[in-house]
Amino acid sequence: MSQAVGNTTLAYARVWHHVDASDRVLGKLAERIALVLMGKHKPIYDPSIDCGDYVVVTNARSVKVTGKKEEQLLYRKHTMFPGGLKETPYKTMQERKPDEIIRHAVSGMLPKNKLRDRRLERLKIFPGDRMGIVGGNILKSWEDGSLPQNFDPSVPTTSKTLAALREAQQSASKST
């Protein structure tokens, strides 16, 4: 007689989540992404084990910040040479590297340990709607956490196409 003791392999299976960042507040979005990357949404969470999921973020270019951060926020990096401090304002970063804004915010919300880089590798960020071949892996969308009945994982999806599928479902259920 054998019984499974402890966590099963299925519990550690990684799921791909999709987030549409358009008109979302940067801090709250980064907090939610960090929780999913760590695996805190799972009942098997353990701080010493990397059991988090993948997160795909689209429309990174249209993320919002509150207050006067749009004018005041500066991103700094240093070349390690004397006088090598480079400062980039938020608006310039939003035009040139919108993915780095979200990656920097999520990185700051993850624990500062050896698992941090491995967790950040599971974060995929795209400036627009198109997510390429990665879209075929999406299993969950964060609007309401559910998927439509006629969902096909082999077809790349975005939040707009998922919304269109839900509308088609609702109109079909109203007509019957």
* pLDDT, greater one: 1 or 71: 71
Considering the domain delimited by 12-67+93-175, tell me its CATH architecture: Alpha-Beta Complex (3.90)
User: How many angstroms separate the CA atoms of 165 and 160, rounded?
Assistant: 9
Q: How confident is the model at residue 65, as a pLDDT?
A: 95
Question: Span 135-148, mean pLDDT?
Answer: 65
Length of the chain: 176
- pLDDT tens for 124-133 read 999 988 888 8
**How do the domains of the chain map onto residue ranges?**
12-67+93-175
Least confident of 54-63, 140-149, 163-172: 140-149
* DSSP reduced 3-state for 113: coil
Which residues neighbour 28 within 8 Å (Cβ) at sequence distance 6 or greater? Answer: none
Q: Which residues pair with 64 in a beta bridge?
A: 25
DSSP secondary structure letters along 89-100? EHHHHHHH-HHH
Q: How confident is the model at residue 23, as a pLDDT?
A: 86
